[in-house]
Structure 1
Amino acid sequence: MFKHSKFAAVAILAISAYHGAAFAQDAADPVVAKVGGVEVHQSELTLAMTGLDPQLANLPEEQKRVAALSAIIDVKLLAADANKEGLQNDETFKQRVAYLTDRELHNAYFKKHVVDSVTPEEVKARYEKEIAAIEPQEEVHARHILVKTQQEAKDVIVALDGGKDFVELAKEKSTDPNKSEGGDLGYFTKGRMVPEFETAAFALEKGTYSKEPVQTQFGFHVIKVEDKRKQAPPTLEQVQDQVRQLVMRDKYVKLLEDAKAESTVEIEDPALKKAYEEVNKQQADQKPQQQ
């Protein structure tokens, strides 16, 4: 009797442990629906939500859950009917499943060895490398007074020569919408302004103004250069996402190079082979050289 009771207690403990583990698993990934007896878990619902049409991205979370669940139910209902018809044995279907499996394996491998493997140290090092390769551009901080005629511009220059304040003259005489800011154009690099204006502005020394009117398609300008400096590079915080993409690209290219080195690629169609080789050559030529 004692032995039997001891055995029963052990069995009860084992069953309790089993059901406890199962309960914990269900709690982490609960069943949200059943379709023909087939369980739909929260994990599948979450996966379906990531595949919703982009137009539904801005819906409230609960509406997205409903849309995703509706899609799952539709899929499972017709998938069950397809299985009954034996469509899973169709050769075209098998080929598509094989391709989709390979594609998802590619994506999983990419996520593990590229997306998830990028470290902050790699991003910082790549940022510093890119910044070091950039030659800082000169930029000027300028103001201008825009008028309709050459004579008006000459009168402005005479007033400046007589000691008038540039900012006050801009507010009084300029026809540009920024006249209320004293004609302030802020800092700009070459290529930002029309050629005639740019040439005149970059030729002036800091603190000086143009002694002759500068004509552009907008009218006649009198320009003053407040400051000149080398353009500061963007901070890591400003370009972090773009730099991360560069690191990911290089990691992906390296993965492919290693995979190709360990395998063989044979293309039977001559025209397709030529086109493939040309594309790969272009990609190799565009790849940055390792420093």
Structure 2
Amino acid sequence: MSSGPAGHVARSTVRPHCETSRRAPMRTFLRTTDGISLDSVYEPGAVVYDASAPPSRDLVFVVAHGFTGDVDQPHVRRVAAALARHGSVVTFSFRGHGASGGRSTVGDREVLDLAAAVAWARGLGHARVVTVGFSMGGSVVLRHAALHPGADAVVAVSAPARWYYRGTAPMRRVHWLVTRPEGRLVGRYGFRTRIHHRDWDPVPLSPVDAVPRIAPTPLLIVHGDRDGYFPLDHPRMLAAASGDHGELWLEPGMGHAEHAADDALLARIGDWAASRAG
């Protein structure tokens, strides 16, 4: 389900051949094709349109947060604020996270959540859509681009390449959280994340197997060389699978996901997306 923009359009006559348009911010619940409600926020950018540049070129970022995140967490809001300097931004809470309905499937059916958010962005009039995902959200943007084409550029930050990775202590803790009843209780009450108790059946397409299907959509893979969750073989596998249509940034001193992505990196991501999308 998508909803139209609320509020009014403010016009300026300072420049005779330009129009400055700003939609009102909006918060709503979207509905996925399998019936899950998603807490979602749209923040419009202030874009100046020249008569020779149609409004259909307007850019929007759809941000997919990491596991145990949600739309109200400060690190998600900081990412949204940084990307808003380059275009409008849609953020949402994945199923089972925050105020969204359902239970987390840790990257499987979350592609339907992202598809609903992308459709909402399109319905608001944006022709250039860039999906930006962090950690679990990074795996989701890769799988979404392969299974539900609809993005004009894709950015995966701190994404895993393969499933069931337990090679680091943080990932062993994540597996305990997901697979053990007591872990799921901690997820529910400690992290506001409701995790589905069923195992994957079938096992979803892995991120590294999804990547070759994304071409020719531009793809950026970003990973820190101090990521405590996924070592550097993960981004290198993704980059190798992407061939000529992918780009890899290995960031010196960077840790994991949204918390480690500073404003300078987010500004570079915004610049990359603006130059590649559409």
TM-score calculated relative to the size of structure 1:
0.18
Structure ID, larger Rg: 1
Which has the larger strand fraction?
A: 2
Which has the larger helix fraction?
A: 1
Q: Could you say which structure has the greater relative contact order, defined with CA pairs below 8 angstroms and 6 or more residues apart?
A: 2
